[in-house]
Amino acid sequence: MGKNAIGLGVVGLGRAFTLMLPTFTQDERIRLVAGTDPRESARLMFSKDFNANAYSTIDELCADPAVEVVYIASPHQFHAAHVRIAAAAGKHILVEKPLAIDIEDCTAIVNAIDASSVGLIVGHSHSFNGPVLHARRLLQSGEFGAVHMLNSLNYTDFLYRPRRPEELDTRLGGGVVFSQAAHQIDIIRLLGGGLVQSVRACTGQWDPGRPTESAYSALLTFDNGAFASVTYSGYGHYDSDELLGNIGEMGIEKNAAGYGAARKKLAQISSPAAEATLKAAGNYGGANYQFKPANPARFHQHFGHLVVSASNADLRLTPEGVVIYSDEKRYLLPTPKSRVPRAEVIDEVWNVVRDNAAPTHGAAWARATTEVCLAILKSAETGTDIKMQFQVRPS
């Protein structure tokens, strides 16, 4: 690791941490120095694996002077409280999306960060993906003119992956709107200019055994006249990765023989408690967990099929880069790959912590994304357009 590596303390050693662990262990700018989790098995493993302190509470972790940044990877409903504790302790914060699950908590976080000397970055969201940032730079260059329309489509098996009970309870931040629209809306806002004006949406709850929103389709209008269509389904039938060369969300090629695997596995589980146990077993500290250093993926991570229509061209984001459809020709602009997965997250953390830069994915930005997600739920419930109040441009 680098001489000036950032000391990272982790709150929640579950699924999100498991997915970010290859980044933390391979990026020399990060040093894992502390962790906390309700599970003793996870704390013991963390302490052994990283020769680091393991605490039973976030308060103890935030009191550790070696911790410069607190990575909050706890369940959605705890984000607001955990952010406030870390900010009060004077620690910089990397918090998993969503920032919180209601506007009041989001606003309290924005105010707390504004009144403090710490920086806050919300991520990982797929708006950190290399091709997304590449497309943003291309659009900012002005070469392709103004953005007029965006279309985003993603069909997955999200609903049938092992879940804890609260992940199927919308009131506690469950369902695809909080977990998945937070990715999709972040991307659309970043490329569309950030200032969503109104939202009209429908949602779907079609499996009584999984009683939460598991599909949605929404129309977003922006203040500059642009508009976006966003659709997501987590019902595990059609897989929109077929539109992306069968490259999965994590940048790994898929095997067609794996069709329906999530549903088949879930059918063998006897109860919600058994399902939660199965999920915990596969995450860090669980009985089935094995850390395998990831080989660099051949492709970038992605979040489904996305086309941006500008005045002079359409831009299609792919796991390899950005395909340009101009007046004269179609061509691919490859996006350079990093050997470290999700290195773009650490780029932003480093810029905020070491260079005192303003974050792109800061608290006000994340509140605006959460506002759109909540509007999807409210519009579906009321059948009306929902006007936005807290939108901001990307920095």
Strand order in the sheet with 215-222: 330-334, 321-326, 313-317, 305-310, 147-155, 227-233, 215-222, 196-204, 386-387
Contacts of 20 (CB under 8 A, 6+ apart): 71, 73, 124, 342, 345
> Structure pTM?
0.95
Q: What angle do CA 276, 281, 282 make, to 5 degrees?
A: 105
Q: Which structure tokens are listed for 74?
A: 């706890």
- Res 204: pLDDT: 98
**How far is it, in rounded angstroms, from Cα 342 to Cα 331?**
26
Q: Of 116, 55, 114, give the one whose Cα is nearest residue 86.
A: 116
Contacts of 327 (CB under 8 A, 6+ apart): 312, 313
Q: Mean pLDDT per 10-residue run, the chain (395 residues)?
A: 89 94 96 97 96 98 98 94 96 96 96 94 95 98 98 98 94 95 98 98 97 98 98 97 96 92 93 92 88 78 98 98 98 96 97 96 98 98 98 95
Contact of 12 with 19, CB cutoff 8 Å: no
- Res 294: pLDDT: 61
| Phi and psi torsions of 266, nearest 5° | -65, -35
Topology of the domain comprising 128-338+382-387: Dihydrodipicolinate Reductase; domain 2 (3.30.360)
- Res 296: pLDDT: 74
The residue behind tokens 């000397």 is 117
Q: Which structure tokens are listed for 395?
A: 């920095």
**CA atoms within 13 Å, Cβ hemisphere of 192:** 32
- Res 1: pLDDT: 64
Q: Which structure tokens are listed for 138?
A: 């291309």
Ordered by start, the domain boundaries in the chain are 6-126+340-371, 128-338+382-387
- Tell me the DSSP string of 109-158: HHHHHHTSS--EEE---GGGSHHHHHHHHHHHTTTT--EEEEEEEEE--G
Q: Which residues of 27-40 are buried (b: 16+ CB within 10 A; e: fewer)?
A: bebbbbbbbbbeee
CA 329 to chain centre: 34
Q: Of 330, 24, 357, 381, give the one whose Cα is nearest residue 170.
A: 381
Q: Of 253, 222, 244, give the one whose Cα is nearest residue 316.
A: 244
Topology of the domain comprising 6-126+340-371: Rossmann fold (3.40.50)
Contact of 339 with 130, CB cutoff 8 Å: no
Task: State whether the Cα torsion 262-266-272-277 is positive or negative.
Answer: negative
**How far is it, in rounded angstroms, from Cα 388 to Cα 273?**
39
Residue 304: C-alpha distances to residues 154, 158, 230, 375 (Å): 5, 13, 11, 22
Same fold, 6-126+340-371 and 128-338+382-387: no
Direct distance between the N- and C-terminal alpha carbons of the chain, in angstroms, rounded to an integer = 29
